[in-house]
Amino acid sequence: MKFLLNLFFLCFLISTYSQVNTPKKMNANFALAIHGGAGNMVKRKFTVEQENEYKKVLDLALEEGYKALANGTKATDVVELVIKILEDSPLFNAGKGAVFSNEGKNEMDAAIMDGETLKCGAVTNIRTVKNPISLAKTIMTSSKFVFLNGIGAEQFAKENNIEIVDTSYFFEQKRWNEMLKIRDSTKTILDNEGSGSIDDLDKINKFGTVGCVVLDNYGNLAAGTSTGGITNKKYNRIGDSPIIGAGTYANNQTCAISCTGHGEDFIRLVAAHKVSCYMDMKHKTLDKAANQVINKELTAIGGRGGLIGIDSKGNVTFAFNTTGMFRGSINKNGEKFIGIYK
């Protein structure tokens, strides 16, 4: 009898410990969405091979993110995992594929936000961190600060064992050639934008900021964005991507948002946070709020670009006022979408 009582007590302790220390899974419609930049994308200027290259990387990011979500990985970790895959591809203007500034340097930005706690981390103008999104996430989890810049950010990365690489890792000949063509002019090239009279750039400059939004198994939202900025930029220019509320935002009460396009205009609108505000204060759906910001307000001020979003029910939206946006999504049933053109 004593043995049975001890066994019962032991089982009770194990059950209690498990309940206290295991995150409670909710019946959430877990899902994720990604983007690789919005801009002027005309189908006739892509070969089938080029299209397939982009789709292959987007598909890999979606599949790996889905597997992580299905295994119970939390939203912010999935955002980091997915964006690292996109950063490691030279196809996109982030990490390995970052464009060059007027000074011939790669200056990268990234941000991440946790919709459950509203904690966030951001970094700008870094040159030696292999995966800027990992540094942003470490700032979020291990720093009392939110936003770090340049040399100081890289020092923080070293102190926290974030992978550092030589600047040569980011050198891509096509990016270099793009910058050289306009270096002595006042032109800059935004995400996936052509450059007027420079027709050849319009054919090859289909590289953009990357982003990911996630709803996990626990009902929590997260968003992340990573970019190399704009080709031929000067004065250590900073766009919207690393600015919480402008290019990146997440709040469990509303949505998770990642933006791409002409950063200055997204900053003026505080675009990502405005979508959340329309949902919270005007009770708009995610889709209506996103389209209000992109297709009405951004368009009204001459801005170009788009965003991806996800809400607490797993609804996904893609809103953009350009001819295309590299994008994709996957839901808890494994149903997948990948798109390029409007």
Q: Are 122 and 136 in contact (CB under 8 A)?
A: yes
Q: Are 41 and 322 in contact (CB under 8 A)?
A: yes
The domain segmentation of the chain, as residue ranges, is: 31-341
Residue found under tokens 């291990």: 142
**pLDDT > 60? residue 175:** yes
Q: Which strands make up the sheet holding 210-215, listed edge to edge?
A: 147-149, 120-126, 108-114, 221-227, 210-215, 31-39, 324-331, 336-341
Helices (H), 149-281: 150-159, 173-182, 199-204, 263-269, 271-281
Interaxial angle between packed helices 150-159 and 132-142, expressed in degrees from 0 to 180 and rounded to the nearest 10: 70
Two structure tokens written together for 277: 């505000």
Give residue 339's identity as a one-letter amino acid code: G
Q: How confident is the model at residue 29 (pLDDT cuts 50, 70, 90)?
A: confident
Q: What percent of the chain has pLDDT over 90?
A: 77
- Mean pLDDT in the chain? 89
Q: Give me the catalytic one of 209, 225, 231, 260.
A: 209
* 209 is a catalytic site residue: yes
197-231 as b/e, with b when 16 or more CB fall inside 10 Å? ebeebbeebbbbbbbbbbbbbbbbbbbbbbbbbbb
235-249 mean pLDDT: 97
Strand pairing category for 305-311 and 316-320: antiparallel
Q: Does domain 31-341 have CATH number 3.60.20.30?
A: yes
Which has more confidence, 239 or 45? Answer: 239
- Global pTM reads 0.89
